[in-house]
């Protein structure tokens, strides 16, 4: 059981999970601001 736990929560997996969470957070926090350059032609 400890081998599975160590493999599942290895350093690489933790860094990948952290990167994924950061990208999700950036997407959520920047989604409410609409880009004004899209609407400049209208």
22 vs 10: CA distance, rounded Å = 18
27 vs 8: CA distance, rounded Å = 26
Query: For residue 37, what pLDDT is reported?
Result: 67
Query: For residue 3, what pLDDT is reported?
Result: 81
| pLDDT of 20 higher than 80 | yes
Query: For residue 30, what pLDDT is reported?
Result: 79
What's the pTM value of the predicted model, to 2 decimals? Answer: 0.59
18 vs 25: CA distance, rounded Å = 10
Average pLDDT over residues 13-36: 85
Query: For residue 8, what pLDDT is reported?
Result: 77
| pLDDT of 15 higher than 90 | yes
User: Which one has a higher pLDDT value, 22 or 1?
Assistant: 22
């Amino acid at each position: 059981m400890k081998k599975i736990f160590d493999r599942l929560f290895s350093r690489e997996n933790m860094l990948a999970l952290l990167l994924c969470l950061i990208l999700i957070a950036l997407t959520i926090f920047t989604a409410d601001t609409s880009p004004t350059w899209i609407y400049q032609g209208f």
